[in-house]
Chain A
């Protein structure tokens, strides 16, 4: 479903600030795979997400989604294929617009936008039904402005919007990191529920090792722009934080650099 081949990306090439962000990345996700990505700051996780979604263009290599090479497609052109939730709860929704208007925009993601009304009676029923699946009571607040919602509610809505049209690939970029623990747990549960229900091919970046182990069927560890560990579904079932850390020390010969990864 998603195939990355020989991806290289260097920032500020040829200057003193040169940084190799991605170094020869090879990654293939089968349909329905749910892969979690961990790694310390600067490992290249977010760069990888940006390259898949088209915010950044790789220096070398190809990105293939559902058999289609998308290298030359801009972000908005790839968007029908990709659902994305950002770390910032404010980033995924339009605060001055209502809940139903936001959902209408998500609904139009894989269709041509025209002069039809964005929110119609039939669509409103559909919006209500899908909001009910969040168990937050948002279905009764269709005409409330999204700016009035709490961070957790907004992130839940972002998640729903990102998955509304069942994208080929779902990208979750530390989407629970900015929330308090109980809200983060809620969003984590919703993520599991939504991804399971629709069988979405998902790539999730997280700083939280426990979350990375709990969710998904495959785990990848990145460091300094490379994939240094790829845990397959069989091994992942018995994976623990201790074993992950040991694995990291064995490969790198150094301690894992981030306390946040363990404690966060």
Chain B
């Protein structure tokens, strides 16, 4: 496997964790949550600060998840208790988090090169297994991690609380009449989602070797692209299928970006590319359906016309 391809796969799988978070809000809760752009950075910032201050990378990563959960919950509270529109609550959190992230880091960029991170630990642990295997240690580690998270998410959405959460996004009035406080399920859902996003940010900072205050910009669109691409390619018939599709979507997105860079696009074009991918992915299914519909109707019309003709001719023969 080429190094570039391996690199895209690794970062794609790390982004998949973030995409699973976006799936929770965007699809399950029907809550377009823009906190993601802020909380992804928060994850990276918290992990980086703790790691350079000598805490264990594991502790730093867990702390990042908790920070994401807290800020996600705040967005949920703004929306449910403050009655602020869902989009606006996310934007407010995202903007506020920009300042908070700078406060957490104390500067715009923290380097982690030479520091012990979760990923260097994995590499060290696997170095005894021979070079051919240790080359793939990181990608194997993140794949196992993302599958584990997927299974936990699937299982959670099957629990009584999980069912109530899904119903909140599907028919809120109905689940209220079955004694669920939909404010709480929304806050819980947005909190968990941002916990996953922050985990993804924390891993990304450790993977790329630095945390940057702007590393989360455009993250929500990458998450949406992953969800939409994944569902379009792999289907979303059940929750299990959809979560797997989202992971696949994130990886494919990453590979497409790598390909685009190779054919000469510059990294600064990537945001535009992502937006275009999402736009196409949103519009294409509708256009394909319309086109199929029209084809079907044309075929039917043609058939009924030829039947009519046959009928008329048959009538002539009889006469």
Contacts and interface: CB of A to CB of B under 8 A. Distances in A.
Physical interaction between A and B: yes
Interface string B126-170: 000000000000000000000000000000101111111011001
Interface string A118-130: 1100000000000
A187 interface: no
B161 A115 contact: yes
Contact of B161 (A75, A93, A106, A113): A113
B180 interface: yes
B80 interface: no
A95 B171 contact: yes
A77 B175 CA distance: 12
A80 B177 contact: no
B163 A118 contact: yes
Contacts of A108: 160, 163-164, 178-179
Contacts of B271: none
B170 A106 contact: no
B166 A97 contact: yes
Nearest to B185: A113
B181 interface: yes
B167 A118 contact: no
B174 interface: yes
A33 interface: no
B179 A101 contact: no
Interface in B186-240: none
A97 to B, nearest CB: 6
Contact of A114 (B161, B171, B175, B179): B161
Contacts of B166: 94, 96-97, 101
Interface in B67-124: none
Given A77-B179, A79-B176, A94 B160 contact: no
A114 B180 CA distance: 12
Contacts of A104: 160, 163
| From A82, A94, A95, residue with most partner B Cβ within 10 Å | A94
B292 interface: no
A41 B173 CA distance: 23
A79 B179 contact: yes
Nearest to B157: A118
Given A105-B164, A114-B161, A116-B160, A53 B174 contact: no
Interface string A69-98: 000001111011010100000111111110
B188 to A, nearest CB: 11
B171 A76 contact: no
Interface string A133-145: 0000000000000
A109 B179 contact: yes
A95 B170 contact: yes
Contacts of B180: 76, 79, 105, 113
Interface residues of A, number: 33
B178 A117 contact: no
A182 to B, nearest CB: 25
Contact of A117 (B158, B179, B181): B158
B85 to A, nearest CB: 22
Interface string A183-199: 00000000000000000
Contacts of B171: 90-91, 93-95
A118 B162 contact: yes
Contact of B158 (A76, A84, A119): A119
Nearest to B168: A94
A110 interface: yes
A94 B167 contact: yes
Contacts of A76: 176, 179-182
Contacts of B163: 97, 101, 104-105, 108, 118
Q: Which of B161, B163, B170, B177 has the most CB of A within 10 A?
A: B177
Nearest to A77: B179
A97 B176 contact: no
A80 B156 CA distance: 23
B279 to A, nearest CB: 25
Contacts of B178: 79, 105-106, 108-109, 161
Nearest to A143: B238
Contacts of B176: 75-76, 79
Interface of A: 53, 74-77, 79-80, 82, 84, 90-97, 101, 104-106, 108-110, 113-119, 161-162
27 contacts: A53-B177, A76-B179, A77-B179, A79-B178, A79-B179, A82-B177, A91-B171, A91-B173, A91-B174, A92-B177, A93-B174, A95-B171, A97-B163, A97-B170, A105-B160, A105-B163, A105-B164, A105-B175, A108-B164, A108-B179, A109-B179, A113-B159, A113-B160, A113-B161, A115-B160, A118-B160, A118-B162
- Closest 5 pairs (CB-CB, A-B): A79-B179, A113-B160, A94-B170, A118-B163, A94-B167
Given A95-B170, A116-B159, 20 more contacts: A75-B177, A79-B179, A92-B174, A93-B174, A94-B166, A94-B175, A96-B170, A105-B160, A105-B163, A105-B167, A108-B160, A108-B163, A110-B179, A113-B160, A114-B160, A115-B160, A115-B161, A117-B158, A118-B159, A119-B158
